[in-house]
Amino acid sequence: MTGRRASQRITIDIENEPDLRKGPEGDIVQVVDYDGKYQCYYEPVDLNRPALLMDGGLEPDEAKPQFHQQMVYAVTMKVIESARRALGRPITFHRPSARQPRLRLFPHAFIGANAFFDSKLNAILFGYFRASQSQPGPNLPGQCIFTCLSHDIIAHEVTHAIVHRLRQYFLEPTNADVLAFHEAFADLVALFQRFSYRSLIIDELHESGGRVELSTWLVSLAQQFGLATGTGKALRSAINQVDPRAMETEFEPHDRGAILVSAIFGGFLRVVEHRTNELFRIASGGSGIKPPGRLPTDLVARLASEVADVADRVLRMCFRAFDYLPPVDVTFGDYLRALVTADFELSPDDRDELRFSMIEEFRLRGIYPEGVVSLAEKSLVLPSADYLPKLPREFEQHTFHLLALTASALDWSARLRIRQKQRLKARPSGRSALPGFEDALRQYEELVLEPEQPEREQSEIARGLNKYAKQNAGALGLDPEYRILVAGFHPVFRIGRDQRLVVELVAQFVQTKDAPIRGGRGTRPLRGGVTVVFGADNVPRYAVGKSFLEKKLRYRQGAQDEWLETLGLNDPRMPWSSPQYRDEFFAKMTDLRRLHGG
């Protein structure tokens, strides 16, 4: 399928969903083109029409809502695909409580230079607006700009939705890093997703003489969007000057998030440089000095492969780290540890020094995890959770069942085979003993525990895990006096660098109580929790969390109150606020619309 991006045009290849319906509406996402401002629908596109299939989708056409629908669908699926590959499990947005089996995309939801994920609607709402009359940049003055046509904005918003799916409490501003992390991660995915478009990298590397860091286009996000708003710059640039004090002075979520983005991008650039220098030396007979003029096409093609390869590895690394993050109150330091641990599990040898480069870039920016003695890789890898007992024997059947389901839900070739058969024959009715792909996915959705599914608490798996958590409450940093919510449980399948298969089961436990709002009325939720990673043999390997036990919890509560106060001081609205505004402040801060500009 084809999409238009600022000045270039690229083709986005995504896996074919044979059963894609009008909308487009697939298995996990659905495009609903309802315009909240004009209160109408726009005619939905049918991408499975043979004529369109032959053409590889609609041609770029800004004036056609159908092209917009195709664009959001394609980019969204591309990002979800990346996430699925890296996480090693199906990504679904099934929400029985909202009666929403799919993530919905509204390409023309409202007028405004904004786009955001709304968890209540289980949807991403894209705005459209007219370019600045006075400072339109390269756009026409007053030209209509569609946020749903910006690859980076779509990727950014979809990532927010995925993050919310993986960690629902990461929207609660319990420390300076939480919202910044949400933003940074969404930017990282948008950024590294770019590097999966080979033709784009080749063009840009030609222009910049083979240096990624010299291509402003590759390193700046949402060019068209940024230029259209009159600020004259792209939204955020990944390469910031390294300011070792930034962590103490930057608190606005986007600015603070930019520190994390630049750290990871810095690590990426180090590895790219290392690998491309080799090629430059080969191409120059050992001198490494580039000949004048344009680089040979073959060299650029090779460079592009290296860059794409490293980018892909970084993107996977970023996603994988999620399974090693605490369920609440995340910090950049936690993320560094998770990155290192996740990557260590898959490629212990760190051949390209990717981990080393990342650690170095984090160190330069003053991002330190709490409670580690040094920034050596050994002390950053999470400690082994050998103090925890195995999951009980009677739980094994659940694990095996889930593992089997996940495997078949991930089995793409089986899926296509079944679809082909279905096309020849009539649809088989009833559920067979061995699930086909669609059944596997649905059954997986029903069994696996994802956040925001209160109705799942009574499932056998949830009860089993709950019992385990209660029995080991102290060791897990949980308080048996309070309810333990099983906020997630899923298996993951990953292939290590040495082609080993790594299978793990990840459980999240969360506890909540009400804490008084300091300097205000009413209460806010105070949470603790732990993520436990089990091996396929049900033996716990890692446990990472934020304690819910007395002393540590009190300490965190104090720190949170202090941070919330700072957050209020940074809010221009605060001096003019009503008591009601101040009471609802915590809840207001969890709104992505507000985070993206109101």
Partner 1 sequence: MEMPRPAKAARRCARVRMYNVGFGDCFLLMLPTDDGEKRVLIDCGSLKAGEVALPKIVKQVIADLSPRDKAPALDLLIATHRHRDHISGFSDAGWQRVSVGEVWMPWTENPADAEARTLTNAQTTYIRAVDKAIGARPALLASSPILKDMLLNAQPNSAALATLHSGFKNRPKRRYLPGAKGIDVITDVLPGVTIHVLGPSRDKAVRRWMEPTNESDAYLAALEGETAGDKGDEVTFEFGINWAIRDDYIDKIKAGTFPKSLRLNRRDVLQLRHHAEQRDWELLAAKADQALNNTSLILMFEVGSAYLLFPGDAQWGPWQRLLNDPDTRELLSRTTFYKVSHHGSSNATPKRLVEAIKAVRKAPKRISMVSVAPYKWAEIPRRPLLDALQEISADVIRSDKPSTQAEIATKKDGYWVEVEIPVG
Residue 365 interacts with partner 1 (CB under 8 A): yes or no:
no
Whose Cβ is closer to partner 1: residue 42's or residue 493's? 42
| Alpha carbon distance 234, 231 (integer Å) | 8
HEC sequence for 247-315 = HHHCCCHHHHHHHHHHHHHHHHHHHHHHHHHHHHHHHCCCCCCCCCCCCCHHHHHHHHHHHHHHHHHHH
Whose Cβ is closer to partner 1: residue 239's or residue 279's? 239
Contact string 111-130 vs partner 1 (x = CB under 8 A): xxxx---x-xx---x-xxxx
Distances (CA, A) of 399 to 395, 461, 467: 7, 9, 16
Nearest approach, Cβ of residue 63 and partner 1 (Å): 5
| Alpha carbon distance 224, 168 (integer Å) | 31
* Stretch near partner 1 under the rule CB under 8 A, chosen from 73-81, 229-237, 420-428, 526-534: 229-237
Q: Binding residues for partner 1, how many (CB under 8 A)?
A: 76
Nearest approach, Cβ of residue 27 and partner 1 (Å): 12
Scanning residues 136 to 165, which ones bind partner 1 (CB under 8 A)? 142, 144-145
Which among 260, 259, 235 has a CA at the least distance from the CA of 246? 259
Whose Cβ is closer to partner 1: residue 383's or residue 558's? 558
Residue 512 interacts with partner 1 (CB under 8 A): yes or no:
no
Is the CB of residue 518 less than 8 Å from the CB of residue 510? no
Is the CB of residue 496 less than 8 Å from the CB of residue 506? no
Scanning residues 514 to 553, which ones bind partner 1 (CB under 8 A)? 519
Whose Cβ is closer to partner 1: residue 29's or residue 447's? 29
Largest CA distance in the chain: 72
Is the CB of residue 94 less than 8 Å from the CB of residue 450? yes
Bridge partners, residue 122, by sequence: none
Residue 597 interacts with partner 1 (CB under 8 A): yes or no:
yes
Whose Cβ is closer to partner 1: residue 150's or residue 459's? 150
DSSP category for residue 435: -
Nearest approach, Cβ of residue 45 and partner 1 (Å): 10
Which among 121, 83, 102 has a CA at the least distance from the CA of 591? 121
In the set 25, 177, 343, 452, which binds partner 1 (CB under 8 A)?
Answer: 25
Nearest approach, Cβ of residue 411 and partner 1 (Å): 26
Is the CB of residue 368 less than 8 Å from the CB of residue 335? no
Nearest approach, Cβ of residue 585 and partner 1 (Å): 12
Backbone angles phi, psi at 121, to 5 degrees: -85, -5
In the set 254, 313, 316, 337, which binds partner 1 (CB under 8 A)?
Answer: 254
Residue 400 interacts with partner 1 (CB under 8 A): yes or no:
no
CB-based burial, 429-444: b 16+ in 10 Å, e otherwise: eeeeeebbbebbbbbb
Contact string 198-227 vs partner 1 (x = CB under 8 A): ---------------------------xx-
Sequence-distant (≥ 6) Cβ neighbours of residue 58 within 8 angstroms: 1, 2, 45, 52, 64, 66, 67, 70
* Stretch near partner 1 under the rule CB under 8 A, chosen from 196-204, 426-434, 491-499, 563-571: 563-571
Residue 575 interacts with partner 1 (CB under 8 A): yes or no:
yes
| Alpha carbon distance 319, 160 (integer Å) | 12
* Stretch near partner 1 under the rule CB under 8 A, chosen from 233-241, 303-311, 509-517, 545-553: 233-241
| Alpha carbon distance 159, 141 (integer Å) | 31
Nearest approach, Cβ of residue 577 and partner 1 (Å): 6
* Stretch near partner 1 under the rule CB under 8 A, chosen from 270-278, 367-375, 538-546, 567-575: 567-575
Nearest approach, Cβ of residue 77 and partner 1 (Å): 18
Identity at 521, one-letter amino acid code = R
Bridge partners, residue 111, by sequence: 128
In the set 52, 60, 110, 411, which binds partner 1 (CB under 8 A)?
Answer: 110
Whose Cβ is closer to partner 1: residue 122's or residue 331's? 122
In the set 8, 11, 16, 21, which binds partner 1 (CB under 8 A)?
Answer: 21
* Stretch near partner 1 under the rule CB under 8 A, chosen from 15-23, 294-302, 371-379, 474-482: 15-23
Nearest approach, Cβ of residue 243 and partner 1 (Å): 9
Scanning residues 30 to 69, which ones bind partner 1 (CB under 8 A)? 30, 32, 34-44, 62-66
